[in-house]
Chain A
Amino acid sequence: QSVLTQPPSVSAAPGQKVTISCSGSSSNIVNNYVSWYQQLPGTAPTLLIYDNYKRPSGIPDRFSGSRSGTSATLGITGLQTGDEADYYCGTWDSSLSAWVFGGGTTLTVL
């Protein structure tokens, strides 16, 4: 059981929009920055979003992040088949004094 809760899977058609939630608590999401990672099949994860909403250079603005209270959300617009991947949220948990990841969400572009 992960400290951060994500839906196991989401799906949408090409060109559509999808959101992936990451639910936590006051010891993690509320008071610490959230980051998001994309893991394409058979590869290492890569950074998508950091500090709740910032994009590293090279990440298209189709990807967005937000945080509200104990939850964070990753949004992806203009879905492409190449977006099919596993997505993970992560942050520091002040009570555990440890970094925590969400359980991951598999995105299927139908």
Chain B
Amino acid sequence: QVQLQESGPRLVKPSQTLSLTCSVSGDSISSGDYYWSWIRQPPGKGLEWIGYIYYSRSTYYNPSLKSRVDITVDTSKNQFSLNLSSVNAADTAVYYCARYDSSGYHIDYWGQGTLVTVSS
């Protein structure tokens, strides 16, 4: 059974960089068959796709966030990470890491999510 677990600071100051890590168990990121993704959900609102990374290091980002987002993979730790720069209050959200199946057309596993608040 694949499991994903988000970790990182729960409080980030405005203008700083939000950094989260997703630890994957039950599957190897280096197997190369899946897309590894970040998705967020502001309190009381809908889901927003941030982006994903494919094993070949190809990345795809939400155009509205592209200038501030970086998703990377650490195969030695079986983890992938999100960096979101220059954050503001609008970036306050529950951040989910997730796995897309090999077709890239659906998410088959989600992390439990972690609330990150942007505030001074």
Contacts and interface: CB of A to CB of B under 8 A. Distances in A.
Given A50-B108, A100-B49, 10 more contacts: A35-B106, A43-B112, A47-B107, A50-B106, A51-B103, A88-B46, A90-B49, A98-B60, A101-B47, A104-B47
A47 B60 CA distance: 21
Interface residues of A, number: 27
Interface of B: 37, 46-49, 51-52, 60-63, 96, 101, 103-108, 110-113
Contacts, number: 65
Contact of A51 (B106, B107, B112, B113): B106
A44 B107 contact: no
Interface of A: 2, 32-33, 35, 37, 43-47, 50-51, 56, 86, 88, 90-92, 96-104
A44 B48 contact: no
A46 B111 CA distance: 10
A88 B105 CA distance: 14
A56 B46 contact: no
A46 B48 contact: no
A51 B105 contact: yes
A45 B108 CA distance: 10
A95 B98 CA distance: 23
Contacts of A47: 106-108
